[in-house]
Every structure is written in C-alpha cells, then in structure tokens.
Amino acid sequence: MTGQVRLAIADSVAQVTLSHPGKLNAMSRGMWQELRAVFATIQQDAALRCVVLAGEGGNFCAGGDISEYAAFRFEEASLRHFHDELVWGGLQAMLDCDVPVIAQIEGACMGAGLEIASCCDLRLASASAKFGAPIAKLGFPMAPRELALVMTAAGELSAREMLLAAAVLDAPTLVQRGFLNRVVPEAQVGEEVSASAVRVARLAPQAARLNKQSFRALAQVQRALAATDLVANAYAYAASAEHREGVTAFVDKRAPQF
Amino acid sequence: MTGQVRLAIADSVAQVTLSHPGKLNAMSRGMWQELRAVFATIQQDAALRCVVLAGEGGNFCAGGDISEYAAFRFEEASLRHFHDELVWGGLQAMLDCDVPVIAQIEGACMGAGLEIASCCDLRLASASAKFGAPIAKLGFPMAPRELALVMTAAGELSAREMLLAAAVLDAPTLVQRGFLNRVVPEAQVGEEVSASAVRVARLAPQAARLNKQSFRALAQVQRALAATDLVANAYAYAASAEHREGVTAFVDKRAPQF
Amino acid sequence: MTGQVRLAIADSVAQVTLSHPGKLNAMSRGMWQELRAVFATIQQDAALRCVVLAGEGGNFCAGGDISEYAAFRFEEASLRHFHDELVWGGLQAMLDCDVPVIAQIEGACMGAGLEIASCCDLRLASASAKFGAPIAKLGFPMAPRELALVMTAAGELSAREMLLAAAVLDAPTLVQRGFLNRVVPEAQVGEEVSASAVRVARLAPQAARLNKQSFRALAQVQRALAATDLVANAYAYAASAEHREGVTAFVDKRAPQF
C-alpha cells in the first residue's frame, strides 16, 4: 500500500482526496500518477463546476514519500524522470484544469503539498496548518520548475525563506503574505470549504473556464521561462555525497552531517 | 444622459471625475471614450504634476453600464470592439500617462472600477470601500488583457478569488494584500488624497515622468505577453446561452439559471 | 576617507559591513567597487554557507554619497558609467552570489540601501528601521535596472509609492507588504540575525547553491527584460536644470525649487 488519490463526484463538485495513512498523505510515485489521472478525468467532465482538494485525516500532504527515495534519487536519469515526468505530470494536470480548484489545507502542507496547493485557485487553511519545504535538511534543492511554481504562488520572499532557511511558516503568516485566501478555525475548515464550493458551482461555468484559460495563458508564459532548461544540469547532484547523506540520515532517523 | 468623465485642472493637479448619477458611476461606452480623451489631454499638458481620479457622490465606479450590454455584447465582433477598442482605449490612455495618478476610492470599486484603479500609481481608499469583479454572476469572463492588468495590480490570489468565486473584498483586506497603499476613515479620504497630491506635485516633475516611463517599460513587456492573442477566440462566447442568460437576468432583476 | 565595505569570515559565515562613519553608511563610488570585490571573493570561497550584510553603527545605508554627485552626475556619459558600471557592478555581484545572504537592517535603509537589501535572500529589520528612495526630492529618477530590482523585491505598490510620492515606509508596513521576513525589537536584531545565519549554515550547502541558481535563472529572465535599453536615453536628464537644482539644493541645505 503506497497511498492513493481518490476522486468522488457529487452535484457538479469533484472531491479529490490525498490519502496515505500513517504518512500524513506523503506523495508516493504512484500517487503522482493517480493525481495526473484524476485531473485528466476531471478535465474531461464538462458537467463539473468546482474541485475541492483535501488530505485525509487532518493533514493536507507532508511532502514526498521519502521511504521510496533511495530507489531512484541517486541516479541522474531516474531523478530527472521522477521530477519531470511523475511530479510535473501531476502538477501540470492540475494547472491544465479548467474548473476552479479549492485547496482545503489542514495540518502539514510541506514540499509536494506546498506544490500541489500552489496549483489551486483558492486556498483555505486551518489555523493550525504549517507550510514549508525544508528539503535543505534532506540534502537536495527543489526542482527548478517546481520552484518557479512555488515562487509564483507563495511569493519570492516566502519561497526563499522556506528553501534557503528551511523555514516552516504558519497559516496567519501566509494569509498576510498573500498565499492563503483565508484562515479558519480547525473545526470549521471542511464546512467553510464546502460552502465556498457550493457558491463557486452556482456561478456561470463557461465564464469560469474562460477565466481559468486566461490565467493559464498568462502564467504559462512565465512558467515557460522557468523551464528546467534554463538551469543547466539541474539533476547532476543526484549521486552527490550531500544528497545521499541527507536522504539516508532521514531514513536512519539521525541528524545529517553536511 | 449616459454619464461623463470630467477634467478640471488647478495648480498643476488634474482632477478627473467619473460621473454617472444613479448608476454608481458605472462606465458607459461614452465614458470609456471620454476617459481616453481626458488622459490624452493630461498627457499633452507638460505643466501637470499629479492626477487625482475619483468617482462622484461617494462611489468610485460600480462596473460597466449593464443597461447598454444587450445592444452589443451578444455578437463577437461588437463585443471584441467594446473590449479591445473602447475599454482598452481608456485603460491604455491611463497606462500611457507620464504623470503620477492617485486613485481616491470610496464605495463601490467593481469590475471596470477595479480595472481603472489598477491603472493608478497610488490607491487610497475609504474604510467602507468594496472591491470585486463578480461578472461570473453575469455569465461572462474578464477580457484577457483586463485580467492581466488586474492580476498584476491586485495579485493573482485576489484576482482568482474575485473572478472565480465572485468574491467582494473589503479595503482592509486589500491593504493587507498590497493593492491599496492606505485605508482612511470615510470622512477623511478627500482631504488625505488632496494632501498626497500636493506632496507629489512638489517633487521633481521630470523625475516622476522618467520613473513612470521605467515602470511602464517594465510592465509593458508583461502586458505584451498578456495580449489577447494568447487566448484564442477570447470573444467567441458572445452569443452563448450562458452569456445571454446572465446579462438578461440582471436586467430583468431575477436570479440567472446557469 | 570615503567609506569602506569590509569582509570578515568565521565558521563558514561571511560578515559584510557597510561602513561610512558620519554619513549613515552612504555608498560612495569606492564602496560600490568594494562591494563588488567583496562579493566576488565570497563567490569564490567554496567553504562559505551564509553571508550576513549589515551597516555599521545602527544604520544600514542611507543612500548614495551625495557629496560626490556634483563631480559626475550632470554629464550623461559619467552618469551612465556610475549607474551601469559602479552601482550595477556591485548589485550584480550580490545577485550572482550562490550563498544565501541575510540583510540585517537597522535605521536608514534608503535609496542605494534599499537596492542592496533587494539583492538579499532574507531580510530582518529592526522595528525602527525606515525604508524609501526619496530621490524625487533630489531631482532625479531611479535608474531603470535598479527600479526593476526594487520593484521585484518590494512590490510595485511600494516601489511606486517610494519613487512617485517620496514615501518613507516603516518596518511593520514592509513586513505586511512582503519585503521583510521579520521585524524584531531594536536590541535583538544582531542576535536574531546571527541565530538565522547559524541555522542556514547548518543546512545542505550544495542544495542552497542550486536553489539560488534556480532563483537567479528565473529572475534573470525578468531582469533581462528590464535592462536599460528598454528605456531610451535613460540618462539624458543628466544636464537638466531640475537635476542640478535638486542635487545642489541638498548640498546647500536648502529646499529645491522644481
């Protein structure tokens, strides 16, 4: 069992659930492929008017599934395949979605979770949610295209703080910095998100799709500039000692020596 | 009588007033043409040092004049002419203005009002001002170039929230999100804006014009990317049932059925 | 004695100090050259993991050294050399730095100081710090490339307010607008910055360098668009009466007549 991305549809609203019990919904390679498939399905359903994306059991998504990393991260080709095909395949499917997507963010929203949240249109968070991408503790950088995505959505200040200082930021800070639309008490997140979804689903659906196409047309230009080819050898660090040490230390539950 | 855009000049400060009594200064087609003419006049007056733009009677601008919409919105060519010639003609004249422009925002600042405010350099608002672009209730999207303008000035988070969720945001929220420089008590807005205009008008006028040219040079590149040609068939929705239903329902004072 | 930029290295952290006693660390031409040399040295030191940049004696940097201006500002070629070679040489060396840079901002952070702070990755400020670029009082605009830098880091709203209205903004406002990561009581700034530097220096150093390269790759595209050639004759104002009057009045300690 390596986690699932589930899809349920009711009353023109799609509910997407990240589920990886015991791992705070950390994204496995299989989940990235499911995320892509789920959003491809959503994109083909002309009757849909809103998508809600949430994590199961009180957390959004804690990042990638680190237990899988030793199997593919230390070789450049497989690392590139992971980022450019699996991860970006899922994120691109979200960005390609013409229906408004609301992120319901509770608990951990880290690394991959932050990237997934960055692909949503509206972001509501529980007051206790936490945000970050402390992969500098794991010995590796964010892939350039993913960094461009987070930088655009969260702002350059927060992106640099999360990546270069491994900062973990709370929900009020990210409301203040313009990443979150609203922070609500923990017990009311689900209810508030559902009410928002109902309101969005009542609005003119073709207008929403056209607006999303415009947002995407504008953003795509920026993201094209941000493509990995701007950064030569983005995955050449795969076999480096630092990368191995960070990932291995995490799995071994010890502090890394950089 | 379909509204006016008035210009008055005193002491090197131009006062531009949006006036459409009984319609919260909603922009008619005639007003868009007057807005363009007024800013062309301002641009040719080398003695001007500051422009103040306000709405008459306690509101900035409630949007477009919907009573005119049935006459031109449901045919692609006339809809394109409206957005690309009339609306963008007015907004482009504002963006081309070399003199600092201060928006004095009271009451409703919706749709067209939000776009006009997005072309200003400084934005002061009354504590009770309201901001949004709830055109998804009228069954149509924002024109791509106008969306690019609002997205740049108000930020992507607020632009998506206003367009995809038809959110109406208050002044403190838009100070917090970096769209407004300052929010002041309702009774003091005029006085505060006048004081700001006097301060701006005392500064070096050539320096202001050169700074505005630099801001424009940088922004034009982004807006060029945002031109309508990026979005194929941006106005093909003109004759759609959804568009007709939204506009017609509004005029008929009933809820639209999307 | 026209000021210094000092470099001290200890425990993989570089401490850069702007020092111009009696002038609130205003940047002289010599200091711009030293800033460039210091960051070139830092960039070649593979053992470094963090840079802290601060001003001496309770101020960050009050701007340029205006006492030098009459010697070179009023002739187009020497003005262009100053901005494109001396100033941009220093700023570019900072932007080219692969090691995370933390700005420790106390007191005045104006003009050149604001530009230098804009090149840092993390910005911590004392509660009493003040920010601005009131050069419209000196009769000249910000050079286009420097304006692009400030606009990107501080946001368009603040950049326009500082340049077009000569606004001086306080630290809480610039936390709220996303330019500063954090504001701390005056007595604790040094301590907080040191603690941040230690934390950054413990993280994976190659990951930090790769992340900074990605941020730079993305930002360079934007800055390329922002190059001075977009603005024709950016320095043609050199010999203008307004420019002379502004600079001369400041040196003469009288109000300029624009």
SS3 A157: helix
Determine, yes or no, domain membership for A155.
yes
| CATH assignment at residue B129 | 3.90.226.10
CA angle B57, B60, B66 (to 5 degrees): 100
Tokens standing for B28?
A: 């008619």
Size of interface A-C (CB pairs under 8 A): 104
Confidence of residue C55 (pLDDT cuts 50, 70, 90): very high
Nearest C-alpha of chain C: how many angstroms from B33? 27
Tokens standing for C221?
A: 């595209």
Chain B residues with CB inside 8 Å of A196's CB? 165
Chain A residues with CB inside 8 Å of B250's CB? none
Determine, yes or no, domain membership for A251.
no
Chain A residues with CB inside 8 Å of B163's CB? 211
CA angle A4, A10, A16 (to 5 degrees): 25
Determine, yes or no, domain membership for B108.
yes
Determine, yes or no, domain membership for C247.
no
End-to-end CA, chain B: 33
Determine, yes or no, domain membership for C256.
no
Please answer whether residues C75 and C97 qualify as being in contact, where contact means their C-beta atoms are separated by less than 8 angstroms: no
- Between CA C258 and CA C256 the distance in angstroms is 6
Determine, yes or no, domain membership for A207.
no
| Closest listed residue to residue C167, CA positions, set C177, C182, C157, C152 | C157
Q: What is the pLDDT of residue B241?
A: 93
Tokens standing for A144?
A: 């350039």
Tokens standing for C143?
A: 């050079």
Element (H, E) at B226: none
Q: Give the predicted TM-score (pTM) of the model.
A: 0.96
Tokens standing for B13?
A: 């400060």
Determine, yes or no, domain membership for C238.
no
Please answer whether residues A165 and A108 qualify as being in contact, where contact means their C-beta atoms are separated by less than 8 angstroms: no
Please answer whether residues A212 and A97 qualify as being in contact, where contact means their C-beta atoms are separated by less than 8 angstroms: yes
The dihedral built from the CA positions of residue B138, B141, B143 and B145, taken in this order, carries a sign that is: positive
Tokens standing for B72?
A: 């031109």
- Between CA C57 and CA C70 the distance in angstroms is 27
User: From C176, which residue of chain A is nearest by alpha-carbon distance?
Assistant: A176
CB under 8 Å to C128, separation ≥6 — which residues? C106, C107, C171, C186
Residue span of the structural domain in which B89 resides: 4-202
Size of interface A-B (CB pairs under 8 A): 104
What does the pLDDT look like over B24-37, one tens digit per residue? 999 999 999 999 99
Residue type, B132: G
Chain centroid to CA A62: 10
Q: Which residues does chain A have with pLDDT short of 70?
A: 1, 220-230
Interface test with C, best of B105, B183, B211, B212 (most C CBs within 10 A): B211
Count of domains forming chain B: 1
CB under 8 Å to C78, separation ≥6 — which residues? C72, C238
Determine, yes or no, domain membership for A213.
no
A100 touches C at CB < 8 Å: no
Please answer whether residues B7 and B41 qualify as being in contact, where contact means their C-beta atoms are separated by less than 8 angstroms: yes
Tokens standing for C141?
A: 């605009």
| Closest listed residue to residue B42, CA positions, set B66, B77, B7, B4 | B7
A231 touches C at CB < 8 Å: yes
pLDDT tens digits for chain B (258 residues)? 699 999 999 999 999 999 999 999 999 999 999 999 999 999 999 999 999 999 999 999 999 999 999 999 999 999 999 999 999 999 999 999 999 999 999 999 999 999 999 999 999 999 999 999 999 999 999 998 899 899 989 999 999 999 999 999 999 999 999 999 999 999 999 999 999 999 999 999 999 999 999 888 887 656 555 555 567 788 889 999 999 999 999 999 999 999
